[in-house]
Structure formats: structure tokens, C-alpha cells
Amino acid sequence: MSTALVILAAGKGTRMNSDLPKVLHQIAHAPLLVHAMRAGSALVPERHIVVAGHGADLVEAAARAYDETAEVVLQTEQLGTGHAVLQAKEALGDFAGDVIVLYGDTPLIRPETLEAMIAARATCDVVVLGFDAADPGRYGRLVMSGDRLDRIVEFKDATEQERTITLCNSGVICASREALFGLLDRVGNDNAAGEYYLTDIIGLARDRGLSATAVTCEEAETLGVNSRVELAAAEAAFQSRARLSALEDGITMPAPETVHFAYDTIVGRDCVIEQNVVFGPDVTIESGAHIRAFCHLEGCHVSQRASVGPYARLRPGAELAEDVRVGNFCEVKNAQIEAGAKVNHLSYIGDATVGARANIGAGTITCNYDGVFKHHTEIGRDAFIGSNTMLVAPVTIGHEAMTASGSVVTMDVPDGALALGRAKQVNKAGLAVKLFDMLKSKKKKQREDAE
């Protein structure tokens, strides 16, 4: 059975106190909307439809950036969740399959939960995702008769007795396209909020002899974000989950609570991730690599057995091959560091290729930017770059070549050559002692004059 996702994302999110539409606020470096789309993607949906309203252009751009086949339909007035889903009716046309409705502001739903809903659809016409709420507050309540879901009553419309129900509506709902829109066409807005409630389709389904049931999940999965406080709580929940799964996947973390993952971080088995490591988006760490304390990584690839940090920064385009070492206070950007090469101390390597087994001395800088253009530095295999070398790009250092410490290298260095690019040293015999004597007597005279 094919599925289509309909993600509700038209709301403004007034309580975010923000110019940005609510669903574009991020956790783990991805918009809330993308988290919902990713969870839904596990079902390999045929269609991804996002219902946008506030900031629709921005919402559309974010949806397309994640999935270029995503379709965005407009809900110009927010007349309720039922009305929102109806905006997808035309786009879905005669799609023959199941529709899953998700909320764009609910980022923690697990793919397994959605799969359980699809499984329940095999024997039931409409499936709702419910949860047992610690504090049911203003959630819609699921009115059950055994396994059968009779209706959903919104808090505002509920009787005192119905309000004692703790099984609540998460908002996620699944039905065939035909049943969903057949039922939605009959939903009115004669209720306490004057809105078209999606939840009314359950009562209507029963009246038409269709069956409905609820699948349940942990309350944590249904956490919706309405404020910055809830955004921070969702981030914390995401991180706890990501850390736990990393530990289960065979990654050693002595202080997992200090490691921050991005939504798409990939870390291989038997890696060690030390304290206070922060992952930005698009990072892959292969198995057996060691990321020491206080590193910041984004848009980079670290191969097997490589070692990074402590205190290193890998920026987009940093490619570390097997057994590479990048040490403390080094920054690598848009550079390939080939197998076994070492960049161990206080270096900036940007727009460069560093050959296999090359050694980059402390304080080496690739001077890649002339203020307008970026230029490339090529360093050959087994090259030895002396400490504090300034490599003024574009420049090529040959295989097995050397640069003398403190050199400013502006010309290409042939294979096997030594480049000396610094002022020649001169020693003046006895001059240091003379200079000290002169300075000391000057200081003494100053003190005497002051007294």
C-alpha cells in the first residue's frame, strides 16, 4: 500500500516570539519541519505534501531543500486542522493509498511509531496516534470502547467526565485518501473554537460504519513546540535519544551528556567521542576514529583510525583519510588530508591538498585568501613543512620537499627540494651583554630621578 504524508505547518507560532515561521526553528541543526518529514520518510511515502500558511515561501524552500519532490499547498486562513488537511485534497487527486497526517511542529515522532500505525491500518479504517498524558491539560481526549475508538473530544468541548480521560490525541492520524476526504467533507465548525476539527472525522467514521482505533506511543514523542522553552526541551530530548543510540551502536563516550549531535551525524563503530564535542550538519566519522575533547566539526568526513583534537575545528569540505592526525588548535577547511598525514599543532589548512604522510609543522598557515579570491595549496606526499611556514597560495610543494621553519613560501617548491624563504640570520658577538648593561643602567637612573 502506498502512502502520502500531509504535514500541517500553516500556524504562525505566536508564542515563539519570532519573525521566523515556527516550523523553521531548528533542533539539532534541522528545522522542526524537516524532523517531521524525516520521520515520515521511513514509510517511503509516494507523496510529501506540506500545508503552509505563515511564511509559506520560506516553509516551501525548507521543505524542498530536504526533498525536492515535496509539494506545498497553501492554507491562507487557519480555520482548523480539518480545514488544513482539506487543502491537500486537490493535490492528492485520485491517489490510491493511505494518508498520514503529521504536525510540522512535532519533531520527535519515531519512524517505528508510524510503522505501527500503518500496520494497524490493515484491520481498521482510521488509526489515531494516542498517548497517556501525565498532565492531559488541553489535549483532545480519545473516547475508547475497548480497542475501538468512538470519537475524539476537544478539551474545550469536553464534559467534566470526559476531561478525566488521560489518553490523549497526538494529532497524527492515518486513513485511506478516500475515507479521509469523504469524512472531512462532512466536518463542520459548530464547536467551542469555531474551527474545522480534523478530530471530528472519528465520530463521523463510526456513524458511517467505518472502524477506528488508537495506537499509542510514549508521551515524549508527541512533544509539540510552541515556545522557545519547548524548543529547548525538544533539543534536549533529541540529544538524549541520539546519545543513547550512539552508545548502543558501539561508540564510546565517557561523557555522553556533553556531546551534541546534528540530526544527520553518522559515527562508525568503535569510535571514541570525548567530552564536549559538537557536531554541525553533514559529518561522517568512520569506525575506529578518535575525536578528542572540545572539537567542533561540520560538513566533514573523518576516515578510519584518524585522530582529531583536542580543540580542533573541522569545517565544510575537510576530508581526513585513514590514520590522519589533526591536533590541538588546528582548523581545516575545504582540504583533503591524505593517509597518515599529520597537522598536529596550531595550524590553518584551507583550500588545500596535503599528500600522504606529509608532516605539517606547528603554526603553519595556508594563506588562501587575498581579500577577494581563494587560492589552492598543494602539498606533496612525504613533504615536511617546517614550523611557522606561511604557504602563500596558489603554491605547490613537491613530493618529499621541505620548507625551512619560518619561511614565507611564495614560489612552487620542486620535488625533493628545500625551500628557505626567510631573512638570513646574523650573530653579533657580545652585543647582548652590552645591550642588557645599557638598559639596566637606564632603568636604575630613572628610579633615582623619581626618588
User: Which residues are identified as catalytic?
Assistant: 345
Binds ligand UD1 (CB under 6 A): choice among 10, 126, 201, 326? 10
Asked if residue 59 lies in contact with residue 33, where contact means CB atoms within 8 angstroms, the answer is yes
Residues 38-57 that bind ligand UD1 (CB under 6 A): 51
| Residue 8 binding ligand UD1, by CB under 6 A | yes
Distance CA 82, CA 430 (A): 92
Segment near ligand UD1 (CB under 6 A); pick from 34-42, 60-68, 98-106, 363-371: 98-106
Interface characters, 292-311, with ligand UD1 (x: CB under 6 A): --------------------
Count residues near ligand UD1 (CB under 6 A): 27
Minimum CB–partner distance for residue 394 and ligand UD1 (Å): 51
Evaluate the CA torsion angle 30, 115, 128, 92 in order and state its sign: positive
Distance CA 413, CA 397 (A): 5
Unique residue bearing C-alpha cell 484491520 = 123
Distance CA 416, CA 114 (A): 61
Q: What is the DSSP letter of 157?
A: G
Evaluate the CA torsion angle 145, 150, 153, 157 in order and state its sign: negative
| Residue 121 binding ligand UD1, by CB under 6 A | no
Minimum CB–partner distance for residue 86 and ligand UD1 (Å): 10
Distance CA 71, CA 280 (A): 27
Asked if residue 316 lies in contact with residue 298, where contact means CB atoms within 8 angstroms, the answer is yes
Residue 309: CB partners within 8 Å, gap ≥ 6?
Answer: 274, 277, 291, 292, 293, 294, 295, 326, 327, 328
Distance CA 360, CA 424 (A): 23
Interface characters, 165-184, with ligand UD1 (x: CB under 6 A): ---xxxx-------------
Minimum CB–partner distance for residue 145 and ligand UD1 (Å): 19
CB nearer to ligand UD1: pick between 9 and 124: 9
CB nearer to ligand UD1: pick between 218 and 257: 218
Segment near ligand UD1 (CB under 6 A); pick from 102-110, 245-253, 340-348, 389-397: 102-110
| Residue 140 binding ligand UD1, by CB under 6 A | yes
Binds ligand UD1 (CB under 6 A): choice among 50, 198, 204, 358? 198
Binds ligand UD1 (CB under 6 A): choice among 5, 6, 11, 366? 11
Segment near ligand UD1 (CB under 6 A); pick from 5-13, 213-221, 271-279, 305-313: 5-13
Query: Which alpha helices (H) appear in 93-249, and where do they start and end?
Result: 111-121, 177-184, 200-207, 228-248
> β-pairing, 296-297 with 313-314?
parallel
CB nearer to ligand UD1: pick between 55 and 386: 55
Minimum CB–partner distance for residue 51 and ligand UD1 (Å): 5
Asked if residue 9 lies in contact with residue 33, where contact means CB atoms within 8 angstroms, the answer is yes
Segment 188-192 long-range contacts (CB within 8 Å, at least 24 positions apart): 189/79, 189/80, 191/154, 191/156, 191/157, 192/154, 192/156, 192/157
CB nearer to ligand UD1: pick between 196 and 261: 196
> β-pairing, 26-27 with 30-31?
antiparallel
CB nearer to ligand UD1: pick between 223 and 321: 223
Interface characters, 74-93, with ligand UD1 (x: CB under 6 A): -x--xxxx-xx---------
Minimum CB–partner distance for residue 36 and ligand UD1 (Å): 9
CB nearer to ligand UD1: pick between 51 and 262: 51
| Residue 231 binding ligand UD1, by CB under 6 A | no
CB nearer to ligand UD1: pick between 201 and 295: 201
In the beta sheet, which residues pair with residue 26? Answer: 31
| Residue 323 binding ligand UD1, by CB under 6 A | no
CA-angle at 175, arms to 167 and 129, nearest 5°: 20
| Residue 199 binding ligand UD1, by CB under 6 A | yes
Binding site for ligand UD1 (CB under 6 A): 8-11, 51, 75, 78-81, 83-84, 103-105, 139-140, 152, 154, 168-171, 197-199, 224
